[in-house]
Chain A
């Protein structure tokens, strides 16, 4: 098809106050106003949220899956970052 492609937007919804916005999917739209409208029509037909964000997909910088090990593997060996690493006698309660 020869016509220009309509940009892609990522949609984030806050289900209710007190919770953060969560990625729910995407929509195509020419501009932010239309993206917001489309996101409202497509993703909030049953009271799914109180607030919608739309973000141009092209603006998202993502980590490369090829770097997964370099980025996230080192944390696996740092078990001393977890409370269960430390021994506390049973007599000492609630710690």
Chain B
């Protein structure tokens, strides 16, 4: 997005009260912050942490679905799944580029992912044992991601907001193809419908956990809200998602695995049962069924690609050397 010269630049700012106040007044006036603008170090760090984590989630998120590309039941499903997984790779790249404008390199971010220093969304540490899981992921996981991402299109940091606009445009097909898979299974044989129900049972609670801890336990929320990185709290977004999704499950004729789920006339929303936060933290800390596989898969992809990166750079050097000795040929744009 912006000049590579920014990478590794010393971003320290003189953060006295006047500086912070001036910055906050720009945020309050809904001005976008661009990479070369002065910004508090905390704002920069928060964004690097959030955007890189988001990028890692897109990349690692390709793995559970990639598991089913070669086994998709029809050519139509296979083409759709390939296109979706390719999109997720693109999302990762837009986001890495947005984070790079803040002074961190792609290589550093990759290293943070592989060493475990940076997190990614825990949802991708769950396995995808049946084809129905591909339906449930598109419907619920991409659905929850869309809820989270739409407000990010108005994030105060320009490159992040622009990347999110692009991503949101591409996400809606992801959710629809997932729901279509569920719909097909639910209007099939009893066994097929049972597959759909089982995968809903597996993915419902982890999808709710995607919105993060309750507002009362969320450590980073207040400052992110003040800086307009975040626009809605975790609980608000989770509630929106539940309210949108419950009728969709009813249409499919399958049941949410929550005996306490009930429409509240008073709140105009669904009440839900308690979320198992012990499980959430266990998975965040690396105790998910697939946590080790995901990272070892990424490590293998990185290691196995090393010779390609080296060869491409060596070839580029060779061509440049050859051109330097040949006569220059000016070429106009267009």
Stretch binding the partner chain, chosen from B52-60, B242-250, B313-321: B313-321
| B2, A57: Cβ atoms closer than 8 Å | yes
Which of under 10, 10 to 19, 20 to 34, or 35 or more describes the interface residues of A? 20 to 34
* C-alpha spacing A34/B86, complex, angstroms: 18
The 4 A-B residue pairs whose C-beta atoms are closest, nearest first, are A30-B312, A31-B316, A57-B4, A30-B316
Instruction: Please give me the residue from chain B that is nearest to A2 by CB atom.
Output: B107
25 contacts between A and B (CB under 8 A): A1-B108, A1-B111, A3-B107, A3-B309, A5-B106, A5-B107, A6-B309, A26-B97, A29-B312, A30-B309, A30-B312, A30-B315, A30-B316, A31-B312, A31-B315, A31-B316, A42-B90, A45-B86, A45-B170, A57-B4, A58-B4, A60-B3, A65-B34, A65-B36, A65-B37
Q: Find chain B residues with CB under 8 A from A25 CB.
A: 1, 94, 97, 163, 166
| B309, A57: Cβ atoms closer than 8 Å | no
Q: Find chain A residues with CB under 8 A from B166 CB.
A: 25
Among A28-71, those with CB < 8 Å from B are 28-31, 34, 41-43, 45-46, 53, 57-58, 60, 62, 64-65
Supposing A1-B107, A42-B93, A60-B3 touch, asked if A53 and B36 sit within 8 A by C-beta, the answer is: no
| B3, A6: Cβ atoms closer than 8 Å | no
A4 contacts partner chain B, Cβ-Cβ < 8 Å: yes
Among A1-34, those with CB < 8 Å from B are 1, 3-8, 10, 23, 25-31, 34
| A62, B36: Cβ atoms closer than 8 Å | yes
Q: Find chain A residues with CB under 8 A from B87 CB.
A: 45
Among B163-202, those with CB < 8 Å from A are 163, 166, 170
* C-alpha spacing A45/B316, complex, angstroms: 26
Q: Find chain A residues with CB under 8 A from B2 CB.
A: 57, 60, 62
Other A-B contacts than A4-B313, A10-B1, A30-B309, 20 sampled, CB-CB below 8 A, are: A3-B310, A6-B106, A8-B100, A25-B1, A25-B97, A25-B166, A26-B100, A27-B97, A28-B106, A30-B312, A30-B313, A30-B315, A30-B316, A42-B94, A45-B170, A53-B333, A57-B2, A57-B3, A58-B3, A65-B34
Interface centre among A27, A42, A45, A46 (most CB of B within 10 A): A42
Supposing A30-B312, A31-B316, A34-B312 touch, asked if A1 and B110 sit within 8 A by C-beta, the answer is: yes
B300 contacts partner chain A, Cβ-Cβ < 8 Å: no
Q: Find chain B residues with CB under 8 A from A46 CB.
A: 170
A6, chain B: closest CB distance, angstroms: 6
* C-alpha spacing A57/B3, complex, angstroms: 5
B261 contacts partner chain A, Cβ-Cβ < 8 Å: no
* C-alpha spacing A69/B159, complex, angstroms: 23
